[in-house]
Chains A and B, each alone.
Chain A
Amino acid sequence: MLKFHRIVLLLALLALPALALSAQDSAETLVVYSGRTEGLIGPLLERFTAETGVRIEVRYGGTAEMAATILEEGANSPADVFIAQDAGALGALAQAGRLRALPPDILERVEPRFVSPAGLWVGVSGRARVLVYNPELVAADALPASILDLTAPEWAGRVGWAPTNGSFQSHVTALRLLLGEDGARAWLEGMVANGAVPYENNRAIVQAVADGEVPVGLVNHYYLYAMRASNPDLRAANYYFPGGDPGALINIAGAGVLDTSKRPGLAQRFILYLLGAGAQTYFAEQTFEYPLAAGVAASPELLPLASIETPDIDLSDLSDLQTTLDLLRETGALP
């Protein structure tokens, strides 16, 4: 029954695709770990290769999983550049001493509020926190003036949120910094008592709002536009909290160079490319994020960056997630 040579042959055949993959190698190669998915950043990497001749080996995964991978890899990490979806993961790597300081000519291209104060990472595109709402269920003028008003009885059981989502947790960290520990706790307790409806992620919230499961939800601004591309009739719109409200945070997707990179010069050149006009226009048009450099304007569908009054906050402080998680657990927002 065990025709051994046949089995061995079959196994060898199965291994072929991977062998073919490892065979190709060139002199100038940059290894990028990307917490952003291929659809969001892949075309940019291809353009970089086409323009510079530098081959890019890219590994995709969740931002947090990629950061955890880099931490586990230690000194032998093959990665040169880490691209993250939020400032928190970059902050965690910076805190672990895994990022190399960036030169001034990179840091100067972006507003200081979107850059690591220690110069360890730089924001590439901006992601605004908004209240997504279903215009059929709530009139625009009935929306609250502040994120803090969502604990009022009129919003009981009507707000979707994603307590396990990184963007949301970063936002709660910001609330802690802006309102103080007690203020953030009071808000979270109010939300939990008010029956805020938990979802797994932003997309699920936008879908739930469009489906009428809940009339409003706390999300990042761009999911709406990405989902509208496949479904133009999506019954949802974005609302920015006005007047520097804690609800109007802008987080970043950014990049940093690994301390273990053997090609830091090349890695910096790649980050410069991400901050160039071509890449910034790509973010404005393809991902509907806010471009942060090269004077490129955001998509005309969005409220312009200059019109958003963001709360006064240092994004690098958003890396202190442990305290936020403890707070989320203590208030019952998280298991």
Chain B
Amino acid sequence: MQLNHLTAYAPRLLIHAGMRCPAPRLPSPLALAAGAVVAAVLLPLVYLVLRALGAGADGLAYLLHPRTLAVLVNSAALTAAVVLAAAVIGALFAWLTARTDLPLRRLWLVAGLLPLVIPSYVGAITLIAVLGPRGLVQQALAPLGVTELPSIYGFWGAWLSLTLFTFPYVALPVRAALLKMDPALEECGHSMGLGRRAVFWRVTLPQLRPALAAGMLLAALYTLSDFGAVALMRFDAFTRVIYIQYTSSFDRSRAAVLALALVVITLALVLLERRASALTRNYRAGTGAQRLPRPVALGRWTVPALAFCAALVGLGLALPVVVLAMWALQAGAPGAGLGLALVNTVSASGLTAGAVGLAALPVAVLAVRSPSRLGRALSGLPYIGNVLPGLVVALALVFFAASYFPALYQTLPVLVLGYATRFLPLSIGSTRSALTQINPRLEEAGRSLGCRPWAVTARITAPLARGGILAGMALVFLSAMKELPTTLLLAPTGYKTLATDIWTASAEARLAQVGLPGLLLVAASALGLFIVLRQSDR
């Protein structure tokens, strides 16, 4: 279909370009770059297959054990519930901060996206501290005769904490899409006699589909791969079964078989996402440049909108930050080396965000522009790295680096590769949905005027998709900052980060010492996020 579209315009291009007709197919250096990126992040898959082969029939029997399957169903139910909630909340939040006259929009936006940086185990601990048995809420209600709250543990506790910490995955790309959307289309709808609601369902939502689908996929993968929140909320999720194999029976083959089940689920989800966002054309096709959308006046909805944002920010950010601050005050003077941990955290995550931003571009271009089914399929494979628990990815890279590249083992490049393997899809999804909003005729014009393919990507595609690329890099930066297992296993020996500081303190039962590194993590991410958003809105 994309191909037909290209050829349909070919005659006009011929005239403009002075009869130099570029063949309408994918530039091959780009495809090679994309192939190299995908190959690099698929190392864990190779590792899992190698290990799973060692398990044989026993591994399969374990996977098909009724209890394993029951846990798999648990995880599926949790994932579905989290994704639905994250989609509704995330889209609403994105619309409020992008297209309305909501007061303090930029502030709400940054504060609302920051739950992304709260490690899910820290978030869950604070939710339990507040809503758990004998928590702050229960203590506050005790004088009123409330002796017991509904239990925070189990499905709903896991759902609440994971929804709070994944809705930004939806909000960020949807917001980028809303900002880039041509308001003329919605106005067209209105002028054709559609009401507000009809315009939303028939004009706005279809245009948001790629961004929504990309965000929902990320929320699903996060939920499937999360270990911290489900463990603390005592919910029997599939990751727990995998962890148990690795950490208490040292059976790497069985663990690999189980992890491969996650891979299969991921591929199915990616296919679903592809179908949902299949080849929508979201760019302006007419002549002239689009203008900025006019903000919607909220009017009497201002107060409910503010309450909605306040509730999100309150539970997802303010609550953990207050608890962290209380701990930090209890702890007293900070330990030495906190500054270095901050520098290490920011530098490793910054490097990763930069590397991933560059690496995701060819893969995303391939996904959107490739005329071949294979090319588009290739771009779905990196999502595998995102669904695998951090420990699995880290052990895979330990195996490859120690066995085949001992000189690189426990150095920064391998750590960055580990982060990139886990978080590349965050960048691909956001970049890809931005690309669907670019009219390919602009790129074709560049080609026809003599630009080489890579130059078209660098000088036309990348600047136009800038908002989406930066949003993706921000997601990667925030996720890498809090990533723990990958850091512990792959970082250079002695390389401390804020996440490892938090882990050390909580492993030693010194919760007070979690406070300061936790606050620094939030502060550094807030700053990073603010800078990125300013860049992308410009």
Contact = CB atoms under 8 A, between A and B. Distances in A.
B134 A226 contact: no
A15 B351 contact: yes
Contacts of A14: 346-348, 350-351, 354
Interface in A206-239: 208, 211-213, 223, 226-227, 230
B418 to A, nearest CB: 13
A335 interface: yes
A16 interface: yes
Interface string A66-87: 0111011110111000000000
A164 B246 CA distance: 12
B244 A164 contact: yes
B240 interface: yes
Given A61-B488, A69-B398, A211 B134 contact: yes
Contact of A2 (B241, B409, B462, B508): B462
Contacts of B412: 15, 18-19
A19 B346 CA distance: 15
Interface string A296-335: 0000000000000000000000000110010001000011
Interface string A128-151: 000000000000000000000000
Contact of B347 (A18, A58, A89, A226): A18
Interface string B504-517: 11011111100000
B240 A2 contact: no
Contacts of B409: 73, 76, 78
B67 interface: yes
Given A37-B508, A166-B248, A230-B512, A58 B495 contact: no
A166 B251 CA distance: 15
B399 interface: yes
Contact of B509 (A65, A223, A329): A223
Interface string B323-337: 000000010000000
B494 A57 contact: yes
Contacts of B402: 72-74, 76-77
B485 interface: yes
Most A Cβ at <10 Å: residue of B231, B248, B354: B248
B493 A169 contact: no
A22 interface: yes
A21 interface: yes
B250 A64 contact: yes
Instruction: Give the interface residue-count category, chain B.
Output: 35 or more
Contacts of A78: 409-410, 493
Contacts of B244: 164, 325, 334
B344 interface: yes
Given A72-B399, A164-B244, A321 B249 contact: yes
Contacts of A223: 509
B39 interface: no
Given A22-B411, A58-B493, A74-B403, A166 B247 contact: yes
A10 B354 contact: yes
Nearest to B535: A1
Given A64-B246, A200-B234, A213 B391 contact: no
Contacts of B250: 64, 67-68, 71, 89, 92, 96, 321
A40 B508 contact: yes
Interface string A1-42: 110000100110111111101100000000100000111100
A213 B152 CA distance: 13
Contacts of A113: none
B248 A18 contact: no
A59 interface: yes
B99 interface: no
B248 A169 contact: yes
A71 B252 CA distance: 9
A157 interface: no
A264 interface: no
B76 interface: no
Nearest to B464: A1
A69 B489 contact: yes
Interface in B217-268: 231-232, 234, 236, 240-241, 243-244, 246-252
Contacts of A88: 248
A150 B110 CA distance: 51
Contacts of B252: 68, 71-72
Contacts of B511: 230
B354 A7 contact: yes
B377 interface: no
A252 B70 CA distance: 35
B463 interface: yes
Contacts of A48: none
B205 to A, nearest CB: 30
Contacts of B251: 322
10 contacts: A1-B462, A2-B462, A2-B463, A11-B350, A18-B412, A65-B246, A72-B398, A164-B248, A325-B248, A329-B67
Interface pairs A-B: 4 shortest CB-CB = A64-B247, A335-B236, A18-B412, A14-B347
